[in-house]
Structure 1
Amino acid sequence: MPLAPASTHPMSSTSLRLASDRVRAQSASLGLLDKQARELEEARVHALAAFDAARRELDDITAARDQVLEQCRLVANTRELDIRAIHSHAMARLPLELLRAVFIEAAHDADPDLSFVDGECDMERSAVPFILSSVCRGWRKLAHECQAMWTYIAMPPQEGENEQWKQAHLARLRSSLMRSGCAPLDVIVGPPNILSDVVSG
Protein backbone atom coordinates (compact mmCIF):
# COMPACT_ATOMS: atom_id res chain seq x y z
CA MET A 1 0.00 0.00 0.00
CA PRO A 2 1.64 3.32 -1.06
CA LEU A 3 2.31 5.84 1.67
CA ALA A 4 0.29 9.03 1.69
CA PRO A 5 2.36 12.12 0.90
CA ALA A 6 3.50 14.03 3.96
CA SER A 7 1.49 17.11 4.75
CA THR A 8 3.17 20.41 3.84
CA HIS A 9 1.12 22.34 6.38
CA PRO A 10 2.93 23.35 9.55
CA MET A 11 2.00 21.23 12.60
CA SER A 12 1.00 22.64 15.92
CA SER A 13 3.00 21.68 18.97
CA THR A 14 0.21 19.39 20.12
CA SER A 15 -0.01 17.63 16.76
CA LEU A 16 3.76 17.30 16.66
CA ARG A 17 3.82 15.74 20.10
CA LEU A 18 1.05 13.29 19.19
CA ALA A 19 2.81 12.35 15.96
CA SER A 20 6.04 11.77 17.84
CA ASP A 21 4.22 9.54 20.32
CA ARG A 22 2.73 7.55 17.47
CA VAL A 23 6.11 7.11 15.83
CA ARG A 24 7.60 5.81 19.07
CA ALA A 25 4.68 3.39 19.54
CA GLN A 26 4.91 2.25 15.94
CA SER A 27 8.66 1.74 16.24
CA ALA A 28 8.12 -0.37 19.34
CA SER A 29 5.44 -2.40 17.51
CA LEU A 30 7.74 -2.90 14.53
CA GLY A 31 10.44 -4.15 16.86
CA LEU A 32 8.09 -6.65 18.45
CA LEU A 33 6.73 -7.78 15.08
CA ASP A 34 10.23 -8.17 13.68
CA LYS A 35 11.20 -10.27 16.69
CA GLN A 36 8.09 -12.44 16.26
CA ALA A 37 8.84 -12.86 12.55
CA ARG A 38 12.39 -14.04 13.32
CA GLU A 39 11.13 -16.44 15.98
CA LEU A 40 8.48 -17.83 13.63
CA GLU A 41 11.00 -18.27 10.83
CA GLU A 42 13.30 -20.14 13.20
CA ALA A 43 10.37 -22.30 14.32
CA ARG A 44 9.49 -22.97 10.67
CA VAL A 45 13.03 -24.12 9.93
CA HIS A 46 12.94 -26.46 12.93
CA ALA A 47 9.51 -27.75 11.87
CA LEU A 48 10.75 -28.45 8.33
CA ALA A 49 13.73 -30.32 9.73
CA ALA A 50 11.45 -32.31 12.04
CA PHE A 51 9.09 -33.02 9.13
CA ASP A 52 11.94 -34.32 6.98
CA ALA A 53 13.17 -36.47 9.85
CA ALA A 54 9.66 -37.81 10.45
CA ARG A 55 9.26 -38.57 6.75
CA ARG A 56 12.55 -40.46 6.71
CA GLU A 57 11.49 -42.34 9.82
CA LEU A 58 8.14 -43.15 8.21
CA ASP A 59 9.89 -44.45 5.11
CA ASP A 60 12.16 -46.62 7.27
CA ILE A 61 9.21 -47.97 9.25
CA THR A 62 7.26 -48.68 6.06
CA ALA A 63 10.21 -50.54 4.55
CA ALA A 64 10.67 -52.55 7.76
CA ARG A 65 6.95 -53.38 7.82
CA ASP A 66 7.03 -54.55 4.20
CA GLN A 67 10.03 -56.72 4.97
CA VAL A 68 8.27 -58.29 7.95
CA LEU A 69 5.14 -58.92 5.87
CA GLU A 70 7.23 -60.61 3.19
CA GLN A 71 8.87 -62.77 5.85
CA CYS A 72 5.42 -63.64 7.19
CA ARG A 73 4.32 -64.66 3.71
CA LEU A 74 7.39 -66.84 3.20
CA VAL A 75 7.05 -68.48 6.62
CA ALA A 76 3.32 -69.05 6.06
CA ASN A 77 4.00 -70.67 2.68
CA THR A 78 6.71 -72.87 4.16
CA ARG A 79 4.45 -73.84 7.03
CA GLU A 80 1.65 -74.73 4.59
CA LEU A 81 4.02 -76.95 2.63
CA ASP A 82 5.18 -78.65 5.83
CA ILE A 83 1.58 -79.17 6.97
CA ARG A 84 0.72 -80.71 3.62
CA ALA A 85 3.76 -82.96 3.82
CA ILE A 86 2.79 -84.06 7.33
CA HIS A 87 -0.79 -84.73 6.26
CA SER A 88 0.37 -86.57 3.18
CA HIS A 89 2.69 -88.73 5.27
CA ALA A 90 -0.06 -89.40 7.80
CA MET A 91 -2.58 -90.29 5.09
CA ALA A 92 -0.06 -92.55 3.37
CA ARG A 93 0.33 -94.55 6.58
CA LEU A 94 -3.39 -95.01 7.15
CA PRO A 95 -4.69 -98.54 6.72
CA LEU A 96 -6.64 -98.88 3.48
CA GLU A 97 -9.85 -99.75 5.30
CA LEU A 98 -9.64 -96.57 7.36
CA LEU A 99 -8.79 -94.46 4.30
CA ARG A 100 -11.73 -96.04 2.46
CA ALA A 101 -14.01 -95.08 5.36
CA VAL A 102 -12.71 -91.50 5.19
CA PHE A 103 -13.44 -91.40 1.45
CA ILE A 104 -16.98 -92.65 1.96
CA GLU A 105 -17.62 -90.15 4.74
CA ALA A 106 -16.33 -87.30 2.58
CA ALA A 107 -18.48 -88.37 -0.35
CA HIS A 108 -21.74 -88.40 1.65
CA ASP A 109 -23.64 -85.56 3.28
CA ALA A 110 -24.42 -85.73 6.98
CA ASP A 111 -28.05 -85.12 6.03
CA PRO A 112 -28.85 -86.58 2.59
CA ASP A 113 -32.23 -84.81 2.57
CA LEU A 114 -30.40 -81.51 2.08
CA SER A 115 -29.43 -82.69 -1.38
CA PHE A 116 -33.06 -82.87 -2.52
CA VAL A 117 -34.32 -79.41 -1.58
CA ASP A 118 -36.57 -78.22 -4.43
CA GLY A 119 -35.08 -80.94 -6.62
CA GLU A 120 -31.72 -79.18 -6.84
CA CYS A 121 -28.54 -81.12 -7.51
CA ASP A 122 -25.70 -80.93 -5.01
CA MET A 123 -22.89 -80.64 -7.52
CA GLU A 124 -20.25 -80.18 -4.82
CA ARG A 125 -21.16 -83.53 -3.31
CA SER A 126 -21.20 -85.24 -6.69
CA ALA A 127 -17.71 -83.87 -7.41
CA VAL A 128 -16.09 -85.25 -4.24
CA PRO A 129 -15.25 -88.73 -5.62
CA PHE A 130 -13.64 -87.19 -8.70
CA ILE A 131 -11.59 -84.79 -6.57
CA LEU A 132 -10.38 -87.54 -4.24
CA SER A 133 -9.51 -89.84 -7.12
CA SER A 134 -7.40 -87.12 -8.76
CA VAL A 135 -5.04 -86.58 -5.80
CA CYS A 136 -2.59 -89.37 -6.59
CA ARG A 137 -2.36 -92.77 -8.23
CA GLY A 138 -2.92 -94.66 -4.98
CA TRP A 139 -6.00 -92.66 -4.09
CA ARG A 140 -7.38 -93.05 -7.60
CA LYS A 141 -7.04 -96.82 -7.42
CA LEU A 142 -8.67 -96.96 -3.99
CA ALA A 143 -11.48 -94.58 -5.00
CA HIS A 144 -12.28 -96.54 -8.16
CA GLU A 145 -12.55 -99.72 -6.08
CA CYS A 146 -14.83 -98.10 -3.48
CA GLN A 147 -18.36 -98.41 -4.89
CA ALA A 148 -19.99 -96.61 -1.95
CA MET A 149 -18.23 -93.37 -2.93
CA TRP A 150 -20.07 -93.12 -6.24
CA THR A 151 -23.66 -93.58 -5.10
CA TYR A 152 -24.73 -89.93 -5.42
CA ILE A 153 -25.65 -89.38 -9.07
CA ALA A 154 -26.48 -85.78 -10.01
CA MET A 155 -27.20 -84.24 -13.39
CA PRO A 156 -28.49 -80.64 -13.32
CA PRO A 157 -30.77 -79.14 -15.99
CA GLN A 158 -28.75 -78.27 -19.06
CA GLU A 159 -30.80 -75.53 -20.71
CA GLY A 160 -28.51 -72.86 -22.08
CA GLU A 161 -25.32 -74.88 -21.60
CA ASN A 162 -22.96 -75.57 -24.50
CA GLU A 163 -22.36 -79.01 -25.94
CA GLN A 164 -18.95 -79.39 -24.32
CA TRP A 165 -20.46 -78.77 -20.88
CA LYS A 166 -23.21 -81.32 -21.55
CA GLN A 167 -20.78 -83.98 -22.75
CA ALA A 168 -18.53 -83.47 -19.70
CA HIS A 169 -21.45 -84.00 -17.32
CA LEU A 170 -22.71 -86.99 -19.26
CA ALA A 171 -19.23 -88.54 -19.03
CA ARG A 172 -19.16 -87.91 -15.28
CA LEU A 173 -22.60 -89.48 -14.91
CA ARG A 174 -21.55 -92.59 -16.84
CA SER A 175 -18.40 -92.89 -14.71
CA SER A 176 -20.40 -92.66 -11.49
CA LEU A 177 -22.91 -95.25 -12.69
CA MET A 178 -20.14 -97.63 -13.70
CA ARG A 179 -18.07 -97.26 -10.52
CA SER A 180 -21.03 -97.46 -8.13
CA GLY A 181 -21.49 -101.10 -9.13
CA CYS A 182 -24.33 -102.73 -7.21
CA ALA A 183 -24.45 -100.15 -4.41
CA PRO A 184 -27.80 -98.38 -3.78
CA LEU A 185 -27.96 -95.00 -5.51
CA ASP A 186 -29.22 -91.51 -4.73
CA VAL A 187 -30.11 -90.13 -8.16
CA ILE A 188 -31.10 -86.63 -9.25
CA VAL A 189 -31.28 -86.04 -13.00
CA GLY A 190 -32.51 -83.22 -15.18
CA PRO A 191 -35.22 -83.39 -17.86
CA PRO A 192 -36.02 -86.81 -19.38
CA ASN A 193 -34.05 -86.13 -22.56
CA ILE A 194 -30.82 -86.05 -20.53
CA LEU A 195 -31.51 -89.41 -18.93
CA SER A 196 -32.39 -90.83 -22.33
CA ASP A 197 -29.05 -89.60 -23.68
CA VAL A 198 -27.24 -91.47 -20.90
CA VAL A 199 -29.24 -94.66 -21.40
CA SER A 200 -28.84 -94.56 -25.16
CA GLY A 201 -25.09 -94.01 -24.76
Structure 2
Amino acid sequence: MASAIVEHATNCEKEIVRPVVNFSPSLWGEQFINFSIDYELAEKYSMEIQGLKNEVRSMLKAPGKDMVEMMNLIETLERLGVSYHFEDEIEELLERFFNLNANYADEAYDLYTVALHFRLFRQHGYRISCGIFEKFIEENGKFKETIKSDARGLLSLYEAAYLRVHGEDILEDALAFTTDNLKSMAPHLSSPPWETSSSCPCAIHPFWEPKN
Protein backbone atom coordinates (compact mmCIF):
# COMPACT_ATOMS: atom_id res chain seq x y z
CA MET A 1 0.00 0.00 0.00
CA ALA A 2 2.86 2.34 0.97
CA SER A 3 4.72 1.56 -2.29
CA ALA A 4 1.61 2.39 -4.30
CA ILE A 5 1.37 5.80 -2.60
CA VAL A 6 5.04 6.52 -3.28
CA GLU A 7 4.66 5.50 -6.92
CA HIS A 8 1.63 7.74 -7.30
CA ALA A 9 3.48 10.72 -5.78
CA THR A 10 6.43 10.10 -8.09
CA ASN A 11 4.20 10.06 -11.16
CA CYS A 12 2.58 13.32 -10.11
CA GLU A 13 6.00 14.97 -9.83
CA LYS A 14 6.87 14.01 -13.41
CA GLU A 15 6.63 16.88 -15.88
CA ILE A 16 3.55 16.70 -18.03
CA VAL A 17 4.50 17.03 -21.69
CA ARG A 18 1.75 18.39 -23.93
CA PRO A 19 1.85 18.52 -27.74
CA VAL A 20 2.81 21.90 -29.15
CA VAL A 21 0.69 23.38 -31.94
CA ASN A 22 2.12 26.11 -34.12
CA PHE A 23 -0.84 28.38 -34.76
CA SER A 24 -0.42 30.93 -37.51
CA PRO A 25 -0.26 34.57 -36.33
CA SER A 26 -3.57 36.37 -36.06
CA LEU A 27 -4.46 38.59 -38.99
CA TRP A 28 -5.53 41.22 -36.50
CA GLY A 29 -2.25 41.28 -34.56
CA GLU A 30 -2.66 43.16 -31.28
CA GLN A 31 -5.25 45.56 -32.65
CA PHE A 32 -7.98 44.54 -30.22
CA ILE A 33 -5.65 44.06 -27.27
CA ASN A 34 -4.41 47.64 -27.63
CA PHE A 35 -7.82 49.09 -28.52
CA SER A 36 -8.87 52.25 -26.77
CA ILE A 37 -12.03 54.27 -27.24
CA ASP A 38 -11.73 57.76 -28.69
CA TYR A 39 -14.52 59.40 -26.72
CA GLU A 40 -14.35 62.65 -28.67
CA LEU A 41 -14.78 60.79 -31.97
CA ALA A 42 -17.57 58.67 -30.52
CA GLU A 43 -19.35 61.82 -29.35
CA LYS A 44 -18.93 63.35 -32.80
CA TYR A 45 -20.50 60.29 -34.47
CA SER A 46 -23.31 60.28 -31.92
CA MET A 47 -24.15 63.90 -32.70
CA GLU A 48 -24.09 63.22 -36.45
CA ILE A 49 -26.40 60.23 -36.03
CA GLN A 50 -28.81 62.25 -33.90
CA GLY A 51 -28.82 64.96 -36.54
CA LEU A 52 -29.72 62.45 -39.27
CA LYS A 53 -32.45 60.95 -37.09
CA ASN A 54 -33.94 64.40 -36.54
CA GLU A 55 -33.82 65.04 -40.29
CA VAL A 56 -35.70 61.83 -41.06
CA ARG A 57 -38.18 62.50 -38.26
CA SER A 58 -38.86 65.93 -39.76
CA MET A 59 -39.51 64.31 -43.13
CA LEU A 60 -41.99 61.90 -41.57
CA LYS A 61 -43.80 64.71 -39.77
CA ALA A 62 -43.79 67.18 -42.66
CA PRO A 63 -47.37 68.28 -43.49
CA GLY A 64 -48.87 67.80 -46.93
CA LYS A 65 -46.52 65.02 -48.01
CA ASP A 66 -47.68 62.75 -50.82
CA MET A 67 -48.92 59.34 -49.61
CA VAL A 68 -46.95 57.38 -52.21
CA GLU A 69 -43.75 59.24 -51.39
CA MET A 70 -44.12 58.69 -47.67
CA MET A 71 -44.96 55.00 -48.04
CA ASN A 72 -41.78 54.60 -50.07
CA LEU A 73 -39.86 56.35 -47.30
CA ILE A 74 -41.33 53.99 -44.69
CA GLU A 75 -40.39 51.02 -46.88
CA THR A 76 -36.82 52.30 -47.18
CA LEU A 77 -36.44 52.79 -43.43
CA GLU A 78 -37.71 49.27 -42.78
CA ARG A 79 -35.39 47.69 -45.35
CA LEU A 80 -32.45 49.57 -43.84
CA GLY A 81 -33.39 48.22 -40.41
CA VAL A 82 -33.65 51.65 -38.77
CA SER A 83 -37.44 52.04 -38.63
CA TYR A 84 -37.46 51.24 -34.88
CA HIS A 85 -36.15 54.76 -34.30
CA PHE A 86 -39.36 56.17 -35.78
CA GLU A 87 -42.05 53.74 -34.66
CA ASP A 88 -44.47 56.39 -33.40
CA GLU A 89 -44.17 58.55 -36.51
CA ILE A 90 -44.60 55.56 -38.84
CA GLU A 91 -47.65 54.23 -37.01
CA GLU A 92 -49.25 57.68 -37.06
CA LEU A 93 -48.71 57.94 -40.83
CA LEU A 94 -49.99 54.45 -41.57
CA GLU A 95 -53.14 55.02 -39.54
CA ARG A 96 -53.81 58.29 -41.35
CA PHE A 97 -53.17 56.81 -44.79
CA PHE A 98 -55.28 53.74 -44.08
CA ASN A 99 -58.23 55.91 -43.08
CA LEU A 100 -57.94 57.87 -46.33
CA ASN A 101 -59.46 54.90 -48.21
CA ALA A 102 -57.30 55.59 -51.25
CA ASN A 103 -58.78 54.63 -54.62
CA TYR A 104 -56.28 51.99 -55.72
CA ALA A 105 -58.28 51.47 -58.92
CA ASP A 106 -56.84 54.79 -60.08
CA GLU A 107 -54.23 54.46 -62.85
CA ALA A 108 -51.79 56.45 -60.72
CA TYR A 109 -51.28 53.36 -58.56
CA ASP A 110 -49.15 50.89 -60.48
CA LEU A 111 -48.50 47.28 -59.49
CA TYR A 112 -45.40 48.09 -57.45
CA THR A 113 -47.19 50.80 -55.46
CA VAL A 114 -50.37 48.82 -54.81
CA ALA A 115 -48.43 45.74 -53.67
CA LEU A 116 -46.11 47.82 -51.50
CA HIS A 117 -49.00 49.57 -49.74
CA PHE A 118 -50.82 46.28 -49.23
CA ARG A 119 -47.73 44.68 -47.67
CA LEU A 120 -46.92 47.61 -45.39
CA PHE A 121 -50.47 47.86 -44.09
CA ARG A 122 -50.73 44.13 -43.41
CA GLN A 123 -47.30 43.98 -41.78
CA HIS A 124 -48.49 46.63 -39.34
CA GLY A 125 -51.78 44.88 -38.58
CA TYR A 126 -54.19 46.82 -40.80
CA ARG A 127 -56.96 44.76 -42.38
CA ILE A 128 -56.64 45.81 -46.00
CA SER A 129 -58.53 43.81 -48.61
CA CYS A 130 -56.73 41.83 -51.30
CA GLY A 131 -59.44 43.15 -53.65
CA ILE A 132 -57.16 46.07 -54.49
CA PHE A 133 -55.35 43.71 -56.88
CA GLU A 134 -58.47 43.11 -58.99
CA LYS A 135 -57.45 45.93 -61.35
CA PHE A 136 -54.62 43.67 -62.54
CA ILE A 137 -56.94 40.74 -63.30
CA GLU A 138 -58.45 39.95 -66.72
CA GLU A 139 -62.09 38.95 -67.19
CA ASN A 140 -60.96 35.32 -67.39
CA GLY A 141 -59.60 35.54 -63.85
CA LYS A 142 -55.95 35.54 -64.90
CA PHE A 143 -53.39 38.26 -64.25
CA LYS A 144 -52.96 40.67 -67.14
CA GLU A 145 -50.28 39.91 -69.71
CA THR A 146 -49.15 43.55 -69.56
CA ILE A 147 -47.62 43.15 -66.09
CA LYS A 148 -45.48 40.14 -66.99
CA SER A 149 -42.59 42.40 -67.99
CA ASP A 150 -42.82 44.59 -64.88
CA ALA A 151 -40.05 42.99 -62.82
CA ARG A 152 -40.20 45.59 -60.05
CA GLY A 153 -43.95 45.28 -59.73
CA LEU A 154 -43.87 41.49 -59.84
CA LEU A 155 -41.28 41.36 -57.08
CA SER A 156 -43.41 43.67 -54.95
CA LEU A 157 -46.48 41.51 -55.57
CA TYR A 158 -44.47 38.36 -54.79
CA GLU A 159 -43.55 39.77 -51.37
CA ALA A 160 -47.12 40.91 -50.72
CA ALA A 161 -48.51 37.46 -51.54
CA TYR A 162 -46.80 36.00 -48.47
CA LEU A 163 -49.11 38.04 -46.26
CA ARG A 164 -52.21 36.26 -47.57
CA VAL A 165 -54.70 34.57 -45.28
CA HIS A 166 -56.81 31.49 -45.84
CA GLY A 167 -59.29 31.89 -48.67
CA GLU A 168 -57.52 34.69 -50.54
CA ASP A 169 -57.32 32.92 -53.88
CA ILE A 170 -56.15 36.03 -55.71
CA LEU A 171 -52.96 36.05 -53.64
CA GLU A 172 -52.49 32.30 -54.06
CA ASP A 173 -52.61 32.89 -57.82
CA ALA A 174 -50.35 35.91 -57.45
CA LEU A 175 -47.65 33.84 -55.76
CA ALA A 176 -47.65 31.25 -58.54
CA PHE A 177 -47.85 33.92 -61.26
CA THR A 178 -45.00 36.05 -59.92
CA THR A 179 -42.78 33.05 -59.15
CA ASP A 180 -43.05 31.68 -62.69
CA ASN A 181 -42.48 35.04 -64.35
CA LEU A 182 -39.61 36.14 -62.13
CA LYS A 183 -37.84 32.83 -62.72
CA SER A 184 -38.19 33.23 -66.48
CA MET A 185 -36.87 36.81 -66.26
CA ALA A 186 -33.92 36.01 -64.00
CA PRO A 187 -31.41 35.05 -66.76
CA HIS A 188 -32.06 38.37 -68.49
CA LEU A 189 -31.72 40.65 -65.47
CA SER A 190 -28.69 42.41 -64.09
CA SER A 191 -27.77 42.65 -60.43
CA PRO A 192 -30.25 44.86 -58.53
CA PRO A 193 -28.99 48.47 -58.55
CA TRP A 194 -30.32 51.19 -56.28
CA GLU A 195 -32.64 53.93 -57.44
CA THR A 196 -32.64 57.20 -55.54
CA SER A 197 -35.66 59.46 -55.76
CA SER A 198 -34.64 63.07 -56.31
CA SER A 199 -37.68 64.25 -54.38
CA CYS A 200 -36.84 62.21 -51.29
CA PRO A 201 -33.18 61.74 -50.24
CA CYS A 202 -33.98 58.63 -48.23
CA ALA A 203 -36.30 56.97 -50.77
CA ILE A 204 -33.99 54.25 -52.07
CA HIS A 205 -35.76 51.31 -53.66
CA PRO A 206 -34.29 48.03 -54.94
CA PHE A 207 -35.52 46.91 -58.34
CA TRP A 208 -34.42 44.77 -61.26
CA GLU A 209 -33.79 46.06 -64.74
CA PRO A 210 -33.01 44.25 -68.01
CA LYS A 211 -29.43 43.86 -69.09
CA ASN A 212 -28.25 46.02 -71.97
Common fold, TM-score beyond 0.5?
no
Between Structure 1 and Structure 2, the one with more helix by share is 1
Q: Which has the higher contact order (CA 8 A, sep 6+)?
A: 2
Larger Rg: 1
TM-score normalised according to structure 2 size: 0.27
